[in-house]
Structure 1
Amino acid sequence: MEQEHLPKHIYEQLAFFRYRIRKFIRFSEEAARSKGLTPQSHQLMLSIMGFPERNYATPKELAERLQITPHACVELIQRCEEQGMVQRCPNRQDRRSILISLTEKGMGILEELSEIHVDELKRAGLLVFDKE
């Protein structure tokens, strides 16, 4: 018995979508490097500011967002802290954890990177953003 395959256009759409994602990721990686950051540092900073309803996160939350191990996340936070991009603050509600937020320096670089990312997404016709 012959197995039925998905229609060719489905493969084409999936392949094109994957291509566009990879192209955007490459753009993002190069943009981060142009600002002296690793792509992972940029992702960490974006995850902090992009966390819903607040501008800080715990290392555990960040590890989940970045899909890395908690240990790897702590190492990444340490490297970003050494560069002056993020800071650790005590968590007053749970003394067992800390909160990670951006420094002014980190926020400035993230703002620059985010503006060029928005422009790239608009140029590619992938998303439309309101700045408000």
Structure 2
Amino acid sequence: MPATTRKRISKSQYENLAAFRYALRKFLRFSEDAAVAAGLTPQQHQALLAIKGFPGRDHVTVGELAERLQIKHHSAVGLIDRLVLEELVERETSAEDRRRVDIRLTERGEGMLEELAALHREQLKRIGPELSSLLQRLGQGEA
């Protein structure tokens, strides 16, 4: 849409957008710090969550993990290599397609992710009302 036909954004709308971005960044910082305290990098934590939270099954392919983390395929391979060394995930040849390798959490990976997920749920309970309020204002055009 050309700038001349777009409705101008008000100061309060900028303030709401900035407040929402700030709240998201605080949550992400909490998440990064929690991962490090658990002995993981933030990206390793994200990978474990992406695998466990993949819709409809408990494993992913390298390509699916790369897509979920928004990284290059070769970067996902390196991340998986490090997770395998830490015994957090395992590679398994697919029973359906012998050319495909599935990545799934180990028992150790499941345990670490469960602890982090509990911390994140508690944090979201604390900040949820603020995020809900900001989202509501953003959705009502006040942003």
| TM-score, reference length from structure 1 | 0.90
Q: What's 2:138 paired with?
A: none
- 1:5: how far off? 2.6
Q: Tell me, what secondary structure is at the counterpart of 2:102? A: strand
Q: Tell me, what secondary structure is at the counterpart of 1:29? A: helix
Q: What's 2:137 paired with?
A: none
Unpaired runs of at least 5, structure 2: 133-143
Question: What code does the residue aligned with 1:110 have?
Answer: L
Q: What's 1:48 paired with?
A: 51
Within a 5 Å distance, the mapping from 1:15-94 to structure 2 comes to 15-94=18-97
Q: What's 1:113 paired with?
A: 116
RCO higher in structure (CA 8 A, sep ≥6): 2
| TM-score, reference length from structure 2 | 0.84
Distance 2:92 2:127 in 1: 38
Q: Deviations over 1:30-81 (max 9, x none)?
A: 0000011000000000000000011110010000000000000000000011
- 1:8: how far off? 1.5
The runs of 4+ residues in structure 1 deviating greater than 4 Å are none
Q: Tell me, what secondary structure is at the counterpart of 1:116? A: helix
Count of aligned positions: 126
> Rg bigger for which structure?
2
Match of 1:98 among 97, 101, 115: 101
Structure number with higher helix proportion: 2
Match of 2:8 among 2, 5, 27: 5
More displaced stretch, 9-18 vs 26-35: 9-18
Distance 2:91 2:12 in 1: 49
Determine what percentage of the aligned residue pairs are the same residue.
52
Q: Deviations over 1:72-106 (max 9, x none)?
A: 00000000110000000011222222000000000
- 1:14 paired with 2:17, answer yes
Distance 2:90 2:105 in 1: 6
